[in-house]
């Protein structure tokens, strides 16, 4: 009997191990009401392990509330959250989570190194002192490790917050407006940091107003407006096709047919716009230009165009004005 049991347990363990890893974040039907104002309404999304999700939306869209509900800081009125495969009701679900809050403030009477040591203890992870120092070096605070946090500028406190989020070897890092107090160099540092996390397979949830940053580093984007999900998907899905604008002379029927073969066509005087599929490998446009020249068309200008995330975001938000926006 015992050997049977062992075998059964072993095969169950094999089965479990063969399953794909649970998502880093899974939430369903999140809702939160503050008095009569609905801050978050029926928000559901999933972030797979190793993905970088950008959270976008105007002020008061409910981004920070969603983040706080994921981390158990705010109790949702409805909905469920799973973090790294555990229900978020269980505090242990946050063992592998690093968090930089939007309102970052650390014990002013501790030194930077002491703040990191405190968070390592709270996270119940063994991280050698040297590795903790490396974390401070990574955010540019190596020289200030033994200074009290009370003497730090806002920007330095935010850098310390980044180190706190990274120090306990997280599998999921939640960054809520990580660059709000940083100078342009600091912003580039944060971008590089997110990219290096992504390269190491760490999942990142990034809430930022800097759409350009989100566009550069994120795989997935979730746009919130008035507490609801206004749009979500990969960047390619959200931004749709690319387009190319051509200024042409001497276009005849054959040339127009060739243009149409490249993708949906629109014309305004001598300017032709061809929508190119998003999954284009980069050969469509050069081939098109070569063929047009071959057909005797004079090509004055070729302008590649892509709808930016900013345009897309503004388009979405203007089309669906939020109810709860202040």
Partner 1 sequence: MTALTVAALTLREASRRRVLWALVVLTAALLALSAWGFSRLAGLETSQGTLTSGEARLVASQLLNLVMFGMSLIAALGTAFLAGPTLAGEIESGMALAVLARPVRRSAVLLGKWLGLVAFGCGFVAVAGLAQFLVVRATVGYWPPSPLSGLALLAAQTVVLLTLALLLSSVVSTMASGIVAVGLFGATWVAGVVGGVGEALGNDGVARVGTVSRILLPTDGLWRGAMHAFQDPTALSQFGFQNSGFPFLSEAPLTVAYLVWAGVWVAMVWGLTAFSFRLRDI
Site residues for partner 1 per CB under 8 A: 68, 71-75, 91-95, 97, 99-101, 103-107, 109-110, 118-119, 121-124, 161, 164, 174
Q: Given 3-state DSSP classes, what are the helix, strand and coil percentages for the chain, each rounded to the nearest 5?
A: 40, 30, 35
**CB 150 to partner 1: min, Å:** 10
Our CA angle for 72, 78, 79, nearest 5°, is 70
Q: Helices 154-167 and 112-122 sit at what angle, rounded to 10 degrees?
A: 30
Q: Report how far residue 98's alpha carbon sits from residue 20's, in angstroms, rounded to the nearest whole number.
A: 23
Q: Report how far residue 152's alpha carbon sits from residue 164's, in angstroms, rounded to the nearest whole number.
A: 15
**CB 116 to partner 1: min, Å:** 11
**CB 123 to partner 1: min, Å:** 5
- The two beta strands, 228-234 and 25-34, are unpaired
Q: Which is nearer to partner 1, 74 or 211 (CB)?
A: 74
Our CA angle for 275, 277, 280, nearest 5°, is 125
Nearest CA to 40 out of 54, 58, 25, 60 is that of: 60
**CB 71 to partner 1: min, Å:** 5
Q: Which is nearer to partner 1, 105 or 300 (CB)?
A: 105
Q: Which is nearer to partner 1, 45 or 104 (CB)?
A: 104
**CB 114 to partner 1: min, Å:** 8
CB of 229 within 8 A of CB of 46?
no
Q: Which is nearer to partner 1, 65 or 232 (CB)?
A: 65
Q: Which is nearer to partner 1, 61 or 230 (CB)?
A: 61
């Amino acid at each position: 009997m015992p050997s049977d049991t062992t075998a059964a347990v072993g095969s169950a363990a094999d089965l479990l191990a063969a399953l794909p890893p649970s998502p880093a974040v899974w939430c369903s039907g999140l809702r939160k009401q503050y008095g009569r104002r609905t801050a978050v309404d029926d928000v559901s999304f999933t972030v797979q392990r190793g993905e970088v999700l950008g959270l976008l939306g105007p002020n008061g869209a409910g981004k920070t509330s969603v983040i706080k509900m994921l981390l158990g800081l705010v109790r949702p009125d409805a909905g469920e959250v799973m973090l790294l495969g555990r229900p978020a009701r269980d505090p242990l679900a946050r063992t592998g989570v690093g968090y930089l809050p939007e309102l970052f403030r650390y014990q002013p009477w501790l030194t930077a190194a002491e703040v990191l040591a405190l968070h390592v203890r709270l996270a119940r992870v063994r991280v050698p002192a040297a590795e903790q120092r490396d974390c401070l070096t990574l955010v540019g605070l190596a020289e200030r490790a033994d200074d009290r946090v009370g003497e730090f500028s806002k920007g330095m406190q935010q850098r310390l917050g980044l180190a706190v989020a990274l120090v306990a070897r997280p599998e999921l890092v939640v960054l809520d407006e990580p660059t709000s107090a940083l100078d342009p160099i600091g912003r580039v540092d944060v971008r590089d940091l997110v990219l290096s996390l992504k390269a190491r397979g760490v999942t990142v949830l990034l809430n930022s107003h800097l759409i350009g940053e989100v566009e550069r580093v994120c795989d997935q984007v979730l746009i919130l407006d008035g507490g609801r999900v206004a749009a979500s998907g990969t960047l390619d899905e959200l931004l749709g096709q690319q387009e190319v604008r051509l200024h042409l002379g001497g276009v005849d029927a054959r040339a127009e047919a060739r243009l149409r073969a490249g993708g949906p066509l629109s014309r305004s005087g001598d300017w032709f716009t061809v929508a190119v599929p998003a999954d284009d490998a980069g050969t469509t446009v050069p081939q098109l230009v070569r063929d047009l020249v071959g057909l005797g068309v004079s090509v004055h200008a070729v302008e590649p165009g892509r709808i930016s995330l900013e345009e897309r975001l503004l388009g979405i938000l203007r089309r669906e004005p939020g109810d709860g926006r202040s």
